[in-house]
Copies of this chain bind each other. A is one copy, B any other.
Amino acid sequence: MATAPRRVGAESSATRALILSAAETVMREEGYAATSTRRVAKQAGLKPSLVHYYFPTTDDLLLAVFRKGAEESDAWLDEALASPDPLRALWKLLTDTSRTELALETMALANHRKAIRAEIAAHSERMRARQVEAFTRVLGGKLAGPEACPPAALSLILAGIGRALIMEGAFGVESGHAEAKGYVERMIERMMAPAKG
C-alpha cells in the first residue's frame, strides 16, 4: 500500500543504502522509538536534511528499513527451507540473536505505526505460508496421529519460543532456556525421525 510515489532518492544510491544501514543499526541498538531522522543522520555521519531528502517522512524511512529486513529474512528463510534439514535450519535462524532482535523491534513498530502495520502483517502471513508449505513437504504423512503438530502451529510455535528466548535473554533472564531449547530439539528430532514400523 505504502505512502506512494513521493520517494526521491534512486533505489540504487549509495547514500540511500548508507542511511538505511544506519537506521537499522539505531533500531537494533536503541529501539524503533529512538529511530528518528536526527539520530539516524548522526549515526550515518550525514545531515538530517539529507535523510529527509531520501525519506520525506519518518514512516517512509521505517518502512524502507522494514522492507530491507524483510528481503533479507526472505532470503534466509528460503535458504533454510531448502536445506536438507529445514526444521533444524529454521530453528537456528529463529534463535539467532541479531536477526530476531530486529524482528522484535519490527513487531513493536507494527504495533504503533499504523502506516506500516499492514505491510508487516502481510509479510508475516507470507512467511508463515511458505513455512507451512515446506513443513508439509518435509513431514509428509507424519502429520496425523494424536501427537501430531499441524505445520501452521509448528511455524507459530517455533517463532514464539525463539522470540521468548531472545527477548528474555536480552534482559538477563536465563532460567528454563536450556530446557526449552532441549525440548524443541527433541521435538524436531522426533518429527524428522523415520516413521516407525
Contacts and interface: CB of A to CB of B under 8 A. Distances in A.
A133 interface: no
A75 interface: no
Given A156-B164, A172-B117, A108 B110 contact: no
Interface string A1-43: 1111000000000110010000000000011011000000100
A141 interface: no
Given A112-B30, A159-B164, A161-B156, A121 B171 contact: yes
Given A111-B170, A156-B165, A171-B121, A50 B2 contact: yes
A175 B155 CA distance: 10
A128 B167 CA distance: 15
Using C-beta atoms within 8 Å of the partner chain, give the interface range for chain A. Answer: 35 or more
Interface stretch (A62-70, A77-85, A145-153): A145-153
Interface in A79-131: 104, 107-108, 110-112, 117-118, 120-121, 124-125, 128-129
Contact of A171 (B14, B120, B129): B120
B2 A172 contact: no
Given A31-B108, A46-B2, A152 B180 contact: yes
B45 A128 contact: no
Nearest first, the 3 A-B pairs at minimum CB distance are A160-B164, A152-B176, A33-B33
22 contacts: A1-B15, A2-B47, A31-B111, A31-B112, A34-B112, A107-B171, A110-B170, A111-B170, A128-B175, A132-B176, A149-B183, A150-B176, A150-B183, A152-B179, A152-B180, A153-B180, A153-B182, A156-B161, A156-B165, A157-B157, A159-B164, A163-B163
